[in-house]
Structure 1
């Protein structure tokens, strides 16, 4: 089975270039690489966005290589003024509903592919060795189909532009491109707008108390063994909770961003930073800003910096605040995720979705309560929140949190009104 993986190349200037390569040979796919460079990278898209697109196109390549009749050679088809048939588009859209891990697992575990026909989602379910085949959500399916559609249209138009004589071949290829484009667009699932008020978004007061008791260095509930891990991870939680930072913002902080005299930290954008040795570079998606550091957090950070961080061997060779246990290299996104998975395992009373983003929501809830206590007008509240979160002044992101807080306050009023009515009736 031909399989593909994404490999990110770090250029000498620090720029990251994700590439889709064949696993066995290590050779990048020519047309997808050309598409990535000329259509994605040239538009200044974030590395994560390009990687996500390549993940979608990996599904396309899986379909082409493992089609139920024979391998599909798009280049040869386009030379013959053809692209994909309607039935093939249907199969491709079915594949976009599946987890690629399930697909590759089935094919790699089967000696002969004759037992598993990649000709429909239902057939795959029936012939699969895995009984419970999960599907991705409709929104993710839509993103995949759009990415594949954009690539196929680009590829078709690239071949169309190289046809020398305008004639039947040109008309046929143009029709083939339009057909694939329209049929793929028609199969993009319609997704209802998500309700920002639904679901558990932040920690309750009880959960916050539990969290702080777990990360205490002297707590028996603390899941970490080394003194360094306990100190660093406690500091990480405090930084995320006090500022509502994203993962990339936290791991992007350099020691030079800290001003101990002013008691401030600067959150700065550094795409493709040559100082950063991490292939999967944590990046700041929001606007640059300067934030005041609470005195207690400043003292803890100072003790960490000049107490244990500098004792790790590799920490002296880079400027990043948070470093990996034992080595002292810049802390990775996966290592940060592991901190939260270990916390979830340490105590099942923490939410199953506990993550840095949950603490970001907790910060916003705390901010709303403070603004209420100070009687800050709603418009002014949005402006302050937008600055502290790094959002554009015209962004609607602040409105999401304000709206949710208003709902909570409105529900409190309803309960109070109900209690008063029942009390009056009893009297």
Structure 2
């Protein structure tokens, strides 16, 4: 039977999280994937989230090899890697969601020698209805798989004698496979696409406040704690524009109610965090002000809801699950899944949409105050945790410029239809 694979998180005594790709049936780690992440990724001080992204790509590659009955180690010993049609098929597989790839995996016997397959099999028509991941996400998978194949070849070549008959062939085929995968990496930048993430407009924001109100009949959550906590979480996202990892990493001690601010800290490999998948802060440490209303609601949550759970006294994190454990990324994502109910009347809402909405509201405030563009960029970078030289702030400025250009264009068109009297 075809094998399945899973990523398990190991927590070292130092607090470091180290993901490992294992056989889902036996729990045994995959040797090559583990050595690759240790020597090629972890050795370069990459974050555990990056290691996990690498392993997800290698999982795709392993499933692809199983599906097509490819034993890469045997091929390398014969001086071969992937055929041209297999490169195309691999790239198509990288464009598919993981659940589709796992369903497509060949359930029959595998790892047996196979007969030559015509190139037309790999170039057959693709189902138009098949879902696809974003182009930049598929590109990340292809890059990691490309690096992994190159690493496998280099490791084998270094163990061979200079005069070994397959050494030169391996180096040549490696160059062709690496260049072939590189040429097939999608070039589109999903973040800047016309259908990229958009902020909530004024009407959607008003609707959101109405839905998440603790006493609203439209509120999708059950239980007083869940309603109070989830409303407060949405208010934190909308008010501060922080990321998921930043919010879940906030500790009660990071709050200063006297001065009205919160410290957003980077705490990679925090030993006090019991969560296997530790929420991490991607941006710089910074102190953000919190409004009187947000401080009051947060203080009430701590005293009225959080302290009810004895388990919450064993850790310092602000937001807790029902029962008192630190709130997880999975639990946070479930909040926004519940908001997708058609009866809510809301567009798709998730934490990064609220981050964009915070930036959208800031852009409007900057216009009202007549803020100079260079000052606006510096303030935005400080609020979001970017360096002053980062070009990320310009992305939000560009989107706001596009919005203004759209409004100006529509106004010009209206004037053509309804010309003003001289």
Q: TM-score, normalised by structure 1?
A: 0.89
Please report how far the alpha carbon of residue 418 of structure 1 lies from its aligned counterpart in structure 2 after TM superposition. Answer: 4.9
CA 1:136–1:393: 2 relative to 1, 3 Å: same
What is the rounded CA distance, in whole Å, between the counterparts of 1:73 and 1:407 in structure 2? Answer: 50
Of the candidates 66, 71, 74, which is equivalent to residue 73 of structure 1?
A: 71
1:291 aligned to 2:292? no
Deviates more, 1:180-189 or 1:396-405: 180-189
Superposed displacement of residue 247, structure 1: 0.7
How far residue 328 of structure 1 moved from its aligned partner, in angstroms, is: 0.7
1:350 is aligned to 2:342 = no
Q: Does the aligned pair in 1 maintain the 2:260–2:289 contact within 8 Å?
A: yes
Secondary structure at the counterpart of residue 84 of structure 1: coil
Counterpart check, 1:323 vs 2:320 = yes
Residue equivalent to 1:143: 140
Count of equivalent residues:
418
Q: Which moved more, 1:40-49 or 1:194-203?
A: 194-203
**Cα distance in structure 2, aligned partners of 1:121 and 1:243:** 53
Q: Distance in 1 between matches of 2:139 and 2:87?
A: 14
Aligned residue for 2:200?
Answer: 203
Structure 1 residues 261 and 62, CA gap change in structure 2 (3 angstroms): same
Task: Give the aligned partner of residue 213 of structure 1.
Answer: 210
Per the TM alignment, residue 87 of structure 1 is displaced from its structure 2 partner at its CA by: 3.9
Contact 1:91 1:121 in 2 (8 A): no
- Distance in structure 2 (CA, Å) of the matches to 1:210 and 1:120: 56
CA RMSD of aligned residues (A): 2.9
- Cα shift readout 1:168-191 (whole Å, capped 9, x = no counterpart): 332222222222222222333343
- Aligned 8 A contact 2:142 2:181 in 1: yes
Offset of 1:421 from its aligned partner? Answer: 5.9
Residue equivalent to 1:375: 370
Deviation at 1:246, TM superposition (A): 0.8
Distance 2:125 2:359 in 1: 48
Alignment partners' CA distance in 1, 2:308 and 2:227 = 15
Query: Structure 1 residue 264: deviation in Å?
Result: 0.9
Alignment of 1:256-335 (within 5 A): 256-325=253-322, 327-335=323-331
TM-score under structure 2 normalisation? 0.90
**Gap regions ≥5 residues in structure 1:** none
Whole-Å Cα distance in 2 between the matches of residues 31 and 111 of structure 1? 24
Rounded Cα–Cα distance in structure 2 between residues aligned with 1:81 and 1:121: 20
Q: Quote the offset at 1:357 in angstroms.
A: 1.1
In structure 2, the residue matched to 1:42 is 43
- 5+ residue gaps, structure 2, are none
CA distance in 2, matches of 1:373, 1:91: 53
1:235 corresponds to which residue?
A: 232
Q: Taking structure 1 as reference, are residues 212 and 91 closer, same or farther at Cα in structure 2, changes over 3 Å only?
A: closer
User: Is the 1:196–1:404 Cα contact (8 Å) retained in structure 2?
Assistant: no
Matches within 5 A, 1:3-14: 3-14=4-15
**CA–CA distance in structure 2, aligned partners of residues 298 and 86 of structure 1:** 60
Match of 1:91 in 2: 89
Tell me the equivalent position of 1:401.
Answer: 396
Q: Measure, in 2, the Cα distance between the counterparts of 1:386 and 1:215.
A: 29
**Bigger Cα displacement from structure 2, 300-309 vs 71-80:** 71-80
Structure 1 residue matching 2:198: 3-state secondary structure: coil
Q: After superposition, give the CA deviation of every residue in 1:334-374 in whole Å (9 maximum; x if it has no partner).
A: 111111111221634200x2111111111111111111111
Pair 1:240–1:91, CA change in 2 (3 A): closer
